[in-house]
Chain A
Amino acid sequence: MTAKLRVVLVDDHALFRAGSKAELGASFEIVGEAGSVEQAIAVIAQTQPDVVLLDVHLPGGGGAGGAEVASAFAGSAVKFLALSVSDAAADVVAVIRAGARGYVTKTITASELAAAVRRVAEGDAVFSPRLAGFVLDAFGAAGGNVAVADDELDSLTAREQEVMRLIARGYTYREVASELFISIKTVESHVSAVLRKLQLSNRAELTRWAARRNLL
């Protein structure tokens, strides 16, 4: 095995950072910690880690929290995995659109978190069931909105919808692959395509949808 992945923890709760450090310390090298937007930007710029575990809600900066940190490193090699207790769609969509490669909730188990960090480091996307649900909701999948062409940014292809549905149903990538008779690599490429659509789509409804979700 190659050198340990270098990870920075960004969370304003010192207690949570300590917990993650204990859980991840064995398999990863924790090179830095930060508790605010300014600290995070400084620590990440200095240490250049492989992966940043990024809390969605962070004090400091312009008030945009984790999304602000992620967009400050847009285009760099640093990869972000968003971590949150928040269920608010607006928060999650904001941090993904700012460049995070995935989103998991803080209730995730240690082994799942470690797997998610590795997956993000390899350039793949990490979708929790909830994020998959958000995507299906945002792209109007329940209403039968299907993309005809693969490069259409504003809706998901039928295959992408299937993959998202299975993830939302609690399937692991491996289970999705065996259910759809495709390889895990294909599942990963579908998920990455969805992530790209989520980040690049200028579908006006996406932002409005996310905002509306919080008003309901």
Chain B
Amino acid sequence: MPADARAAASAELRRPREGRMVAGVAAGLARHLGISVTAARWGLAIAGLTGTGAVLYLWLWLTVPSADTAAPPPLVRLAPMLRDKNLRSPLLAAAGGLMLLALAAMVAATAAGAAVPWQWLIPLAALLGGLILAWSQLDRIDAGARRGPISWLRLIGAVALMVLGTALLISQGRGPSSLVAALLAGLAVLAAVALVGAPWWLRLINALGDQRAATAREAERADIAAHLHDSVLQTLALIRAQAADEASVRRLARAQERELRQWLYQDRVAPAVSLAAALKETAAEVEDAAGAEIGVVVVGDHPPMEAAAALIGATREGLLNAVRHGAPPVSLYAEIGPALAEVFIKDRGPGFDLAQVPGDRLGVRESIIGRIRRQGGQAEVVSKTGGGTEVRLRLALGVKERA
């Protein structure tokens, strides 16, 4: 059974945010029932003509939460808290449905009656309009979005309609003076309710802020968990699989350590804008290629200049030499000042005499010394018996001299 079909079969009833025409009711129904969206839309539209369909549509709009069908499985497993928990209470849903049904029945009765009671119809229409205006914002409130000016206009309009409707309902056509009195009374009650409810409302806003902060924390935790899963757990599995091969275990552990360090401390600057980052990356590449460990210390930084490529190339060659022919620990120290870059590569190998290296060997003579000297820098290889070998490179920054 394909995964898609299974997912569709178990899809919860939700109004999707993507691909909705009005409120996503038809699209959600179609996904839930496993029928085509067009069929659901036509079905609802035909039912809407009879009146019951409209009520059903409104009822579903109010009660079915708007959300994308499902979060991807890893996210669900890693951060269950992230899922939308505040499903509306069924009591509220039922009340909304009943209210709309009653409204529909009343409208039907008025239409059937001989005399049209305008003094009832107009306030009821105003009340209904206000209700629809207010409830149409439900999705936006849910999403936790900030209120825009339109949203405020809708809220004010809804309140005005409700107050007007209530006032008309109470005054019942007994003249403008009683209408004004009813309006004033309504406003006074509203103000009193607002004053009494203010602390509760403020607390609600605070709680909402807390909840958002918690969600952000959860998201961060999920991010970390996902990262650990992708990197560290994979590497651990690899290490276990290759436990017999010491060299590759060491390489895996070192590469993973470096990657995790970079991710944790975020001190990663693109090599394109930082000579220090470029040198660190070079050392990392040599580590990966040779499976040896290199202690890297870089002081200062500078944007890479034209001659940087030569410096990096020579550094790479020096490090490769050190890990191939020298002995650990291999260390790379780079000091990058405002005008001068110095690079030192040291190993603890037996050392060698540069004069005795055959002339056809390009490694040290050409790739390291020649490269730096052509850029107007200084390069030397110092080897002491028993004290290891050190490659020293000095290159002026900024000014480029051609030899």
Residues A132 and B266 in contact, CB atoms below 8 Å apart: no
A153 to chain B, nearest CB (A): 20
Which residues of A, 190-216, contact B by the 8 Å Cβ criterion? 213-216
Residues B337 and A144 in contact, CB atoms below 8 Å apart: yes
B259 to chain A, nearest CB (A): 13
CB neighbours of A165 from chain B (8 A): 333, 335
- Bound Cα distance A165, B330 (Å): 16
A180 to chain B, nearest CB (A): 14
B260 to chain A, nearest CB (A): 10
Residues A129 and B337 in contact, CB atoms below 8 Å apart: no
B338 within 8 A of A: yes
B341 to chain A, nearest CB (A): 9
- Bound Cα distance A170, B348 (Å): 10
Q: Supply 16 further A-B pairs (C-beta < 8 A) apart from A143-B338, A169-B344.
A: A86-B265, A87-B261, A88-B265, A107-B293, A129-B297, A129-B331, A132-B297, A133-B299, A136-B299, A168-B335, A170-B329, A170-B344, A170-B346, A171-B346, A214-B267, A216-B269
Q: Which 3 A-B pairs have the closest CB atoms?
A: A170-B331, A142-B300, A133-B297
Bitwise interface map of B from 321 to 337 toward A, beta carbon under 8 Å scored 1, else 0:
00000000111010111
Known interface pairs A169-B390, A170-B331; A214-B299 also in contact (CB < 8 Å): no
Residues A142 and B335 in contact, CB atoms below 8 Å apart: yes
- Bound Cα distance A132, B261 (Å): 20
B239 to chain A, nearest CB (A): 15
A17 within 8 A of B: no
- Bound Cα distance A132, B297 (Å): 9
Residue in chain B with minimal CB distance to A144: B337
Known interface pairs A141-B299, A142-B299; A129-B333 also in contact (CB < 8 Å): yes
CB neighbours of A171 from chain B (8 A): 346
CB neighbours of B173 from chain A (8 A): none
A130 within 8 A of B: yes
Interface residues on A, range: 20 to 34
Which residues of A, 70-117, contact B by the 8 Å Cβ criterion? 86-88, 107
Residue in chain B with minimal CB distance to A105: B295
A44 to chain B, nearest CB (A): 29
Residues B299 and A168 in contact, CB atoms below 8 Å apart: yes
Residues A142 and B336 in contact, CB atoms below 8 Å apart: yes
Main SS class of interface, A? helix
- Bound Cα distance A168, B346 (Å): 11
A137 within 8 A of B: yes
- Bound Cα distance A88, B264 (Å): 9
Which residues of A, 165-187, contact B by the 8 Å Cβ criterion? 165, 168-171, 175
Subset of 29 A-B contacts with CB under 8 Å: A129-B297, A130-B297, A133-B297, A133-B298, A136-B335, A137-B299, A137-B300, A141-B335, A142-B300, A142-B336, A142-B338, A143-B300, A144-B337, A144-B338, A165-B333, A168-B335, A169-B331, A169-B333, A169-B390, A170-B295, A170-B329, A170-B330, A170-B331, A170-B333, A170-B346, A213-B267, A214-B266, A216-B267, A216-B269
A214 to chain B, nearest CB (A): 6
- Bound Cα distance A18, B225 (Å): 27
A209 to chain B, nearest CB (A): 12
B34 within 8 A of A: no
CB neighbours of B331 from chain A (8 A): 129, 169-170
Residue in chain B with minimal CB distance to A170: B331
Bitwise interface map of B from 44 to 74 toward A, beta carbon under 8 Å scored 1, else 0:
0000000000000000000000000000000
- Bound Cα distance A87, B387 (Å): 28
- Bound Cα distance A216, B265 (Å): 9
Bitwise interface map of B from 228 to 268 toward A, beta carbon under 8 Å scored 1, else 0:
00000000000000000000000000000000010001110
Choose among A130, A133, A143, A216 the residue that contacts B337 (Cβ–Cβ < 8 A): A143
CB neighbours of B337 from chain A (8 A): 142-144
Residues B295 and A130 in contact, CB atoms below 8 Å apart: yes
CB neighbours of A107 from chain B (8 A): 293
B332 to chain A, nearest CB (A): 8
Known interface pairs A88-B265, A214-B267; A129-B295 also in contact (CB < 8 Å): yes
Residue in chain B with minimal CB distance to A91: B265
- Bound Cα distance A165, B300 (Å): 13
Residues A133 and B333 in contact, CB atoms below 8 Å apart: yes
- Bound Cα distance A132, B344 (Å): 14
Known interface pairs A129-B331, A143-B337, A170-B329; A175-B387 also in contact (CB < 8 Å): yes
User: Most chain-B CB neighbours within 10 Å: which of A130, A136, A170?
Assistant: A170
CB neighbours of A137 from chain B (8 A): 299-300
- Bound Cα distance A168, B344 (Å): 10
- Bound Cα distance A141, B265 (Å): 24
CB neighbours of A216 from chain B (8 A): 266-267, 269
A189 to chain B, nearest CB (A): 23
Residue in chain B with minimal CB distance to A142: B300
- Bound Cα distance A87, B267 (Å): 10
A112 to chain B, nearest CB (A): 9
CB neighbours of B329 from chain A (8 A): 170
- Bound Cα distance A169, B138 (Å): 64
Which residues of A, 34-55, contact B by the 8 Å Cβ criterion? none
A143 to chain B, nearest CB (A): 6
- Bound Cα distance A215, B338 (Å): 21
Residue in chain A with minimal CB distance to B346: A170
- Bound Cα distance A142, B300 (Å): 6
A23 to chain B, nearest CB (A): 17
B322 to chain A, nearest CB (A): 10
Which residues of B, 15-54, contact A by the 8 Å Cβ criterion? none
